[in-house]
Amino acid sequence: MKFLKPLFVFLILNFGALGLGILLMGNGPTSDWYTSMRQAPWTPPNWLFGTAWTFIMLCFSFYMAILYRKHPTSKVITLFIIQFVLNIAWNFVFFNQHMIAFGLGTIIALTFIITAFLVTYFKLMKAYNLLIFPYLIWICIATSLNLYILIHN
């Protein structure tokens, strides 16, 4: 029961962030603005984004619940809040405001925060570190896509 409460909280927060991010990005990847730009050859198909983010947020929610259970500190919560804000902000900055360079800075900062989780709590989390890798891998791909769009448009 002690594990289920933080898991439930992180599931609500993470999927809430996804929902808010979707609201703030408008038409996002289907917008005329985005589809008119040159895309990286490795850009995933649109259908993959929802599937990937669902899996990522499930894994990250379990990661956070386990981490918070093992190490309930303000540092863990602070890193989570920064990650939460940056994840939502990128959608707004990039898709809604069309600020590609600022979006790149935002997503790079998010990549650093996700990496900070991994590095800071690597020994503590042991095999549970595998739960954060989907997020880190996807954010690295998204960062490369953002950079490609900045350079080629």
DSSP string, 91-117: HIIIIIT--HHHHHHHHHHHHHHHHHH
Q: What pLDDT sits at residue 2?
A: 87
pLDDT digits (tens, 9 = 90+) for 53-87: 999 999 999 999 999 999 999 999 999 999 999 99
Evaluated on CA atoms 11, 14, 20, 25, the torsion sign reads negative
- pTM, whole model, 2 decimals? 0.95
Place of tokens 């995933």: 44
pLDDT digits (tens, 9 = 90+) for 112-144: 999 999 999 999 999 999 999 999 999 999 999
Whole-angstrom Cα distance, residue 17 to residue 145?
Answer: 21
Mean pLDDT of all residues belonging to the chain:
96
Whole-angstrom Cα distance, residue 129 to residue 39?
Answer: 31
pLDDT digits (tens, 9 = 90+) for 11-48: 999 999 999 999 999 888 889 999 999 999 999 998 89
Domains and CATH numbers, the chain: 4-152 (1.20.1260.100)
Q: What pLDDT sits at residue 137?
A: 98
